[in-house]
Amino acid sequence: MGKNQQEEKVFFFEEAGFAPQSSRQMLNKVPEVTIFFWIIKILATTVGENAADFLNINLNLGLTKTTVVMSGLLIVALFFQFKFKKYVPGIYWLAVVLISVVGTLVTDNLVDNFGVPLEVTTILFFLALLATFGTWYAYEKTLSIHSIFTTRREAFYWLAILFTFALGTAAGDLTAEGLSLGYLRSAFIFALLIGGITMAFYLFKLNAILAFWIVYILTRPLGASLGDFLAQSHENGGLAFGNVGTSGIFLVTILSLVVFLTITKRDQIPEKPYGE
């Protein structure tokens, strides 16, 4: 086998999540991208938006205390996520829910406490995300989530996730509030964009990794807009379900799906020996 063919074979197995045993330190730490992945992701996004508002407003903790509390919980969740050597649905999705809350709070702090305009925060987090992807690719030569089997790759992954939530919050608030489009129209716009990327992937062979990360970013403002639409009062253009009711329904749904996935292992990539 020639050198090029050998490199292509290694690249194929890496992208599929099956790295050479000599370089593999752990099993893939993230779930397979299925319909369940996207459902829980959008639900977690909505919970993040409403939970942040509930703690900040309904419990009168304020942005600073809420940020400190939720950041502490996120650190604990990520500690266990990094500690495990394989994907564990309960720990992984708990970390996603918490990082969704923290990402929302980061943007809210910049806007409400420091007076940074939504346009600036959107650009700021977009650049931060690009820098994260650039550094990640420079070190690892791939941004595929099917190859998260080293601690460094996992660190890049979670940092990117944090910035996608912060960016999505800023972009969602900018369209819904800054541009006065309202929550439902904003959700519709982001749903159309996700549909466009999906069509580009299936019909025009858009790069799978690029398509994944674009959709991952867009699901954040989609979920946030839907969450606000359900929770906000009629006067503010919502359905007035409230933060507690909306978060409760979505958390129960997430928990049910996570239990289902834990039992069925529908979102876990079967482990195979390298070269099989």
pLDDT tens profile 44-92: 888 876 777 777 777 777 888 888 999 999 999 999 999 998 899 999 9
Q: From CA 163, how far away is CA 82, in angstroms rounded?
A: 19
Smallest CA-to-CA distance from 207 within 103, 133, 132 is with 133
Number of residues written out for the chain:
276
What local confidence, expressed as pLDDT, does residue 26 receive? 56
- CA separation, residue 151 to residues 37, 140, 261 (Å): 22, 12, 24
Range 162-182 average pLDDT: 86
For residue 153, give the H/E element and its range: helix 151-173
What local confidence, expressed as pLDDT, does residue 7 receive? 38
Smallest CA-to-CA distance from 258 within 108, 71, 44, 63 is with 44
Task: Measure the CA angle with vertex 3, ends 272 and 10; round to 5°.
Answer: 20
Give 12's pLDDT tier (boundaries 50, 70, 90): very low
Give 154's pLDDT tier (boundaries 50, 70, 90): very high
At residue 55, what is the residue type?
L
Cα 213–chain centre separation: 9
Neighbour count for residue 94 (Cβ, 10 Å) = 22
- Average pLDDT of every residue of the chain: 83
- 3-state SS, residue 143: coil
Mean pLDDT lowest among 3-7, 109-113, 167-171, 176-180:
3-7
Longest dimension (CA), the chain: 68
Smallest CA-to-CA distance from 228 within 151, 158, 175, 157 is with 175
What local confidence, expressed as pLDDT, does residue 164 receive? 93
What local confidence, expressed as pLDDT, does residue 276 receive? 39
Residue 235 is given by DSSP the state: G
What local confidence, expressed as pLDDT, does residue 125 receive? 95
**Digit-coded pLDDT (tens) for 239-270:** 877 777 777 888 899 999 999 999 999 888 66
Q: Is 209 left (phi over 0), alpha (psi -120 to 50) or beta?
A: alpha
